[in-house]
Amino acid sequence: MKINKILVSFLTMVMSFSSCDYLDVPPINIMQDDAIFKSESGIKSYMTTLYYDLPIEDFRFTQQGFNVSGKGQGRLPNVSGEAMCHSSDDISTIGDGTWWGCWDYGKVRRVNYFLQNFPAYQKNFSGVLGNAWLGEAYFIRAYYYFAMVKRYGGVPILKEPQEYTGDIEVLKVPRNTEKECYDFIAEDLDEAARLLPDNESLLGKGRATKYAALALKSRAMLYAGSIARYGKMDLNGLVGIEESLSDGYFKQAYDAVKEIEKSRKFSLYEKNADKEKNFAELFLAEDSPENIFVKYFQRNINAHGWDVYFVPYQYRGSGFSSNMNPTLEFVEMFERKDGTPANFAERARGAYFDDPSELFENMDARFGGSIIYPNAKFKGEACSIQKGLILEDGSKKEDAVDYEKAVYTAKDGKVYHIVGKSGCGNYSGNMTGFFMRKYLNENLPTAEILESYSEQHWIDFRYAEVLLNGIEAAVEMGQHLDDALVWINDIRKRADIKQLSSSELTVDRVRHERRIELAFENQTYWDLRRWRIADKVIETKQYTGLCPYFDINKQKYVFEESAANKYYYTFSAKMYYERIPDGEIAKNGKLIQNPYYN
């Protein structure tokens, strides 16, 4: 059993401190402060609630919100172009500005209540422990605010819990500027880093440390720098940041990364000599030196369903499978070991293979560590992906509804399966020819591939992402490029791929590296937004797949590229900011809606 982890559950306190007002005013505080703040157990319970509230975009984050169960559809990879939601995918847009909302000042109130009231009780505990709890609270508040600001731009900054005193108008607070919000986040994270311990031994696994605060600062300040450089100011700064301030934010991101690096407490995971297996393993290894801030899961408490939804069809348990399939456009972003483009579709055109996996040889190790491709080994057997047969007369036979029963008897009497055990086809759900491998647990028994049975942890901050934050910040500034080159080549060395020269260290190259390294980690969608290129790379986009057929005459495999579904994705430029909930604006006339939503 896992001990000392944030094993999140629905506590009574979640109900006791719920909010139902304009911003964060509680109904009646039915718990006395002494019951919370006088004992270590009371504070731990309160902190558990705050951690549960963290808007971590993990296995259980979907279009329906945080900490929910859900299938593949409505997840961030589904709207970033990384993957598609199987054969029934009917998404023809990637939202209307309300899909990824996170406007919840009840959560802000709970952490503000702690920051306001705990200091009166702090003398009852050791100075180190009291400071650590305060540091957690500052980290958590910064996390809440970053989740809101990256969605909405400027939001109201509240540093104390509001209290209703008879005049409801006093509670109607206007939005702060986006710049003010990012500066507030930076201040909270600086205070968190000052107060938090530098390891987990004091507070326990899954709790914030100084380096978690610095990692969040590197991510948030990188985002702020991008908004300043590539965004547009509107509504007197409620959205957008002055361009001249971009380097200042990039510098803050770089400095946070440099402090983490200098600590020498973290390193890239490199325990397996097999580079491909090593990359797949790092997401399951709880002792990884790469992990900076992790959310843990445990069966019967808060386990998730990553395996049941995303495992290939032939390995399924009792339930779903194949719910998210990487697009050809995305998998072709990976490079070969020599640094040349994958060009799978081009290299497959007119070519025949004894084994379909031959097309995917000599790839960046992150490819096989992130993607299950035709005949890739998974759970000890080849993943059988085949869309159909090419018959003796050159015609195709496909669209089978069952692997075992869907057979074809050739003229010579030999019997062939029309499709693979895992597709492609409507029966399997796979329409692209690829599956996601990242985070799948190969050791999970088939009988346990069920909803709420998966326990692998979610790595919210890992060292490779932190390095990528520093690399991008350095390249955007045109400073500290020696560090940036060392960091990016360390990441590429682990992937067993050609090293870069200083002349290749460009913004586009860094962005490309980021998309490969952080695939399916719920980063790409936000990156496309902060770079302000989502409307260019997603708008009117129809994604494709690359599936093998078995040619009976040649007794070899041939690939065919085709549209993965009939829909074209759309992304409106207004969606660079989410729509502030109409109900909040109706309650608070001082809130101004984001551009183009009125």
Distances (CA, A) of 87 to 301, 427, 526: 32, 9, 25
Q: What is the DSSP string of 328-391?
A: HHHHTTSBBTTS-B--HHHHHTT--BSSGGGGG-SB-HHHHHHEE-TT-EETTEE-----EEE-
Average pLDDT over residues 307-312: 94
What is the C-alpha separation between 88 and 565, in angstroms, rounded? 9
Better-predicted residue by pLDDT, 194 or 322:
194
The model's confidence at residue 423, banded by pLDDT at 50, 70 and 90, is: confident
Cis peptide before 102 (omega within 30 of 0): no
Residue 313 near residue 529 (C-beta atoms within 8 A): no
What is the C-alpha separation between 502 and 483, in angstroms, rounded? 11
Count the residues in the chain: 598
Indicate the SS3 state at residue 564: coil
Residue 70 near residue 64 (C-beta atoms within 8 A): yes
Token pair belonging to 383: 């993943």
The model's confidence at residue 465, banded by pLDDT at 50, 70 and 90, is: very high
How many Cβ atoms sit within 10 Å of the Cβ of residue 251? 18
Token pair belonging to 436: 């996601």
Q: What would the pLDDT profile of 78-122 be if each residue is shown by its tens digit?
A: 889 999 887 555 565 677 889 999 999 999 999 999 999 999 999
Rg (C-alpha) for the chain, rounded Å, is: 25
Token pair belonging to 356: 């379909």
What is the C-alpha separation between 389 and 397, in angstroms, rounded? 5
Task: State the greatest distance between any 2 C-alpha atoms of the chain, in Å, as a whole number.
Answer: 89
Residue 488 near residue 500 (C-beta atoms within 8 A): yes
Per-residue burial over 13-22, b if 16 or more Cβ lie within 10 Å, else e, is: beebbebebb
What percent of the chain lies above the pLDDT cut of 70? Answer: 93
What is the C-alpha separation between 527 and 79, in angstroms, rounded? 12
pLDDT surpassing 90 at residue 17: no
> Which one, of 200, 49, 165, 174, lies nearest residue 114 by Cα?
49
Strands 415-417 and 556-563: unpaired
The H or E element that residue 216 is part of is helix 210-230
What is the C-alpha separation between 418 and 317, in angstroms, rounded? 23
Per-residue burial over 522-539, b if 16 or more Cβ lie within 10 Å, else e, is: bbbbbbbbbbbebbeebe
What is the C-alpha separation between 133 and 127, in angstroms, rounded? 10
Q: What would the pLDDT profile of 21-77 be if each residue is shown by its tens digit?
A: 456 554 434 457 888 999 999 999 999 999 999 999 999 999 889 998 766 567 899
pLDDT surpassing 80 at residue 335: yes
- Beta bridge partners, 220, equal none
Residue 575 near residue 95 (C-beta atoms within 8 A): yes
Q: What is the DSSP string of 462-479?
A: EHHHHHHHHHHHHHHHT-
Indicate the SS3 state at residue 433: coil
Q: What would the pLDDT profile of 130-139 be if each residue is shown by its tens digit?
A: 999 999 999 9
Better-predicted residue by pLDDT, 430 or 500:
500
pLDDT surpassing 70 at residue 443: yes
What's the DSSP call for residue 456?
P
Burial (CB count within 10 angstroms: exposed 0-12, middle 13-18, buried 19+), residue 121: middle
